[in-house]
Amino acid sequence: MFFLPISDDNPTRRAPVVTLLIIGLCIAVFLWQQSLRPDARDAAVYAFGVIPAVLFGIAALPPELSVLPPWGTIVTSMFMHGGFMHVIGNMLYLWIFGNNVEDSMGRGRFLLFYLLCGLAAAMAQAIADPSSEVPMIGASGAIGGVLGAYIVLHPQANVRVFAWIIIFVRMINVPAVIVLGMWFAGQLLSGFTTPTDGGGVAFWAHVGGFVAGMALIPFFRDRHVPLFQGAHTRPFAVMPPPGMPRRGGSVPQAGSRRWPRG
């Protein structure tokens, strides 16, 4: 069983300039990381990643790695990634959901919102294990904030999901409250069941960012932008992936029709 979000059904009024800039910067930094020798790559992670023990003054980096004040690494860590799938997955989610969140508040406020969610995410992970000396990198926490804002703005919006279940391959419209709600529940469950001292995925950063995004969006959105908006297409409509022939039958096709809001 495999599910992958591909796009959503929400139009935008403004070009997502900041979202695209963040994506471009994350990709550029990742390519820079990949250009380094393995030892230099590891050193960059320690120098520019968030290390809870260093952030709280419990430990200190060697002088050659201490190139930023500890609080500065909260920002730099948001633009670094640990592998190709890490950066691809994060940028996909930011591309799908970031444009509508940016559109709801404008470019300047979106940048501030994104950084504040990243800050909340880093602090949530650090507080979960203040003595950890494992560096944390990745945009996941800040993007978690974008997802939290999106679920408050557009809970009924349909996310087009690529579904592959044995021989069943289709695109399905799934309401955002289900897609993002299941994502958040998974992060929360993993946070409670996964030790924080062994590296791996920073689940509490995801949780912290998501909650921050939900809490901040009412204050950052433009005043004319409503919360809890409806869908623009039919929920749970099914269609073949691009390139596959459509088959007859009674299953409704996903389209651009406005769905009655009732």
Spatial contact of 28 and 81, defined as CB atoms under 8 Å apart: no
Instruction: State the average pLDDT over residues 144-164.
Output: 95
Is pLDDT of 164 > 80? yes
In a domain, 53, yes or no: yes
In a domain, 255, yes or no: no
Tokens 């409704």 belong to 252
In a domain, 170, yes or no: yes
**Whole-angstrom Cα distance, residue 141 to residue 127?**
14
Is pLDDT of 78 > 70? yes
In a domain, 252, yes or no: no
Instruction: State the average pLDDT over residues 219-247.
Output: 84
**80-125 pLDDT, tens per residue?**
999 999 999 999 999 999 999 999 999 999 999 999 999 999 999 9
Residue 1's pLDDT band (boundaries 50, 70, 90)? low
In a domain, 262, yes or no: no
Sign of CA dihedral 238, 174, 113, 77: negative
Structural domain tally of the chain? 1
Instruction: State the average pLDDT over residues 140-168.
Output: 93
Q: Domain with 144 in it: what CATH number?
A: 1.20.1540.10
Question: Which stretches of the chain are assigned E, i.e. beta strand?
Answer: 2-8, 158-165, 168-175, 238-239
The pLDDT value given to residue 123: 97
In a domain, 154, yes or no: yes
Task: Supply the mean pLDDT for the chain.
Answer: 89
Instruction: State the average pLDDT over residues 1-10.
Output: 84
**Whole-angstrom Cα distance, residue 159 to residue 97?**
9
The pLDDT value given to residue 89: 94
In a domain, 244, yes or no: no
In a domain, 24, yes or no: yes
The pLDDT value given to residue 246: 55
The pLDDT value given to residue 259: 36
Residue 239: C-alpha distances to residues 148, 172, 256 (Å): 28, 6, 13
Residue 64: phi and psi, rounded to 5, are -70, -20
Instruction: State the average pLDDT over residues 10-17.
Output: 93
CA angle 81, 43, 121 (to 5 degrees): 40
By residue range, what is the domain housing residue 12? 2-239
The pLDDT value given to residue 255: 42
Is pLDDT of 43 > 90? yes
**Whole-angstrom Cα distance, residue 201 to residue 187?**
10
Residue 162: phi and psi, rounded to 5, are -85, 120
Tokens 């996903």 belong to 254
- Copy the structure tokens of residue 41: 């790559």
**177-232 pLDDT, tens per residue?**
999 999 999 999 998 888 766 667 889 999 999 999 999 999 999 999 999 999 88
Helix or strand or coil: residue 162? strand
Instruction: State the average pLDDT over residues 163-169.
Output: 79
